[in-house]
Amino acid sequence: MPKNKVLVVDDEPAIRYTLGEALKGWGYEHLEAGTIARALEFFESEHPLVVLQDIHLPDGSGLDALREYKSRQPQSVIIMMTGNVLVDDTLSALRGGAYDFISKPIHLRELQVTIRNGIEVGTLRREVRTLRGEQARQFGFDQIIGDSRAMRETLSLARKVAASEASAVLLQGESGTGKDLIAKAIHYGSERGDKPFVAINLAAIPGTLIESELFGHEKGAFTDAKARKEGLFEQAQGGTIFLDEIGELELNLQAKLLRVLEEGSFRRVGGLRDLPLDVRVVAASNRDLKSESEQSRFRVDLYYRLSVIQIDLPPLRERGDDVLHLANHYIQSFNRSFRKRVQGLTSEVEEIFRHYRWPGNVRELRNVIERVMILEDTDQVTTTWLPRDLMAGGESPRGITGGNGLEEASRGAHPEAGRGRPAFLMPEKGVNLEEVELSLVEQAMQRSGGNQTRAAELLGISRDQLRYRLKKLEELPEHP
């Protein structure tokens, strides 16, 4: 195994000799340079893991050399040395990216520990950089499948946003349209791509904990705050924070988020001072936040602050043959996972996929492909294992056609219309009223992405009434 290289840069031969002998004894391969010019030649050709850099050299300042090292290799470990410790030099070195600063005469035991720790830090930095590079490839724009006009326009706008300095972006679209993938593509396609990407689903965290999760807290801020905790905004510093389901954020917290966006700073719960913040906020919602703000369910000022850059993701039903491209992508993916060799879809399945409305969008498609890949024994996806509602072209699992079996009549075009509420045409064969009601409940839950409050609003009933109907739905036996 090759030895780790350490470059010693000092204009005093005795110091270079002493450090060189010590480095050999510690198992390192050492290189020596008495000038900055020679040091940069070694740095470029030998790629040392660590540089021990003196500040004062005949041909310039070690601080200038530090900046050059970091510009060529940001992950390099540079340890500065000087016999005349000045506060300004120390601060300049650390701000310039130096790992540490040691004074002469050098204590060899201290130097050995510093070098060892620096190599470990450098190794971690390279691993993190490699991992983030893999994530950038995995979640880049090139990995998003879609050739429809609607998707091309969406991706074109998202690429422009990624290349911009926009501090806030709003993604809107139905549940399952891939808002999280667009958020990651924007992050990894931007200059912030080598910094953290931090995501939080605001609908999944109790309201009493969200403020602490976002902004962190100081020790003793509340009963269980036994130590200081960094919030997600702090963890995302320099990168991107993805606030999924932002429509679920309580109004008082919306006001605090607006302040963070406007002022570029935040305060931990229980804190006494504001902390500077450098993050891009990508917010997402499956609700129409403009409509929500008009009904006072979302702060209008926060909506306008977020929607300076707004990207609307098209539902799968408006993306044409993208559904087939996505299906084949998932087939190949599950072929690798399940060790199968399914070649694709039959022409009959392709037609079914084209005409189905996909209320659950891409997420529903992925689940359908996973199901049939588990069960299918042939070399193509056939209709054998497709879910019943898919086979019915959007029919309810309990046999109510057309989603709810009823069509809304145009006002004035039907004798029952015009009485202050929309009229619906009953099929000639009649309907089962209970099944129609429960079918509508199912559709509302699908459209709201499982959000009971939103589903109740779609149905024009209270949340308690919705829960009563959901309980009935659970108790109803499946149609044979």
Instruction: Convert the pLDDT of each residue in 420-457 to its tens digit.
Output: 445 556 666 666 777 777 788 888 887 877 788 888 88
Instruction: Convert the pLDDT of each residue in 287-320 to its tens digit.
Output: 999 999 999 999 999 999 999 899 999 999 999 9
Residue 298 CA to residue 306 CA, distance in Å, equals 12
Q: How many Cβ atoms sit within 10 Å of the Cβ of residue 126? A: 14
Residue 248 CA to residue 453 CA, distance in Å, equals 10
Question: For residues 327, 330, 331 and 334, what is the CA-based torsion angle, rounded to 10 degrees?
Answer: -160
Give the pLDDT confidence score for residue 2 in this predicted structure: 62
Q: Are 286 and 146 in contact (CB under 8 A)?
A: no
Tokens read off for 2: 């090759």
Give the pLDDT confidence score for residue 392 in this predicted structure: 75
DSSP codes of every residue in 291-335? HHHHTTSS-HHHHHHHTTSEEEPPPGGGSTTHHHHHHHHHHHHHH
User: Residue 205 above 50 pLDDT?
Assistant: yes
User: Looking at residue 224, what DSSP letter applies?
Assistant: T
pTM over 0.75: no
Q: Place 105 in a pLDDT band, splitting at 50, 70 and 90.
A: confident
Stretch(es) of the chain classified as CATH 3.40.50.2300: 5-134
User: Residue 152 above 90 pLDDT?
Assistant: yes
Give the pLDDT confidence score for residue 409 in this predicted structure: 43
Task: Say what percent of the chain tops pLDDT 70.
Answer: 87
User: Residue 211 above 50 pLDDT?
Assistant: yes
What rounded mean pLDDT belongs to the chain? 85
CATH architecture of the domain covering 5-134: 3-Layer(aba) Sandwich (3.40)
What average pLDDT does the segment 60-72 reach? Answer: 89
Give the pLDDT confidence score for residue 208 in this predicted structure: 82
Q: Please, what CATH class does the domain formed by 157-313 belong to?
A: alpha beta
Give the pLDDT confidence score for residue 378 in this predicted structure: 92
Instruction: Convert the pLDDT of each residue in 242-293 to its tens digit.
Output: 999 999 999 999 999 999 999 999 889 888 888 888 999 999 999 999 999 9
Within 8 A by CB and 6+ apart from 55, the residues are 61, 62, 63, 80, 81, 82, 89, 93
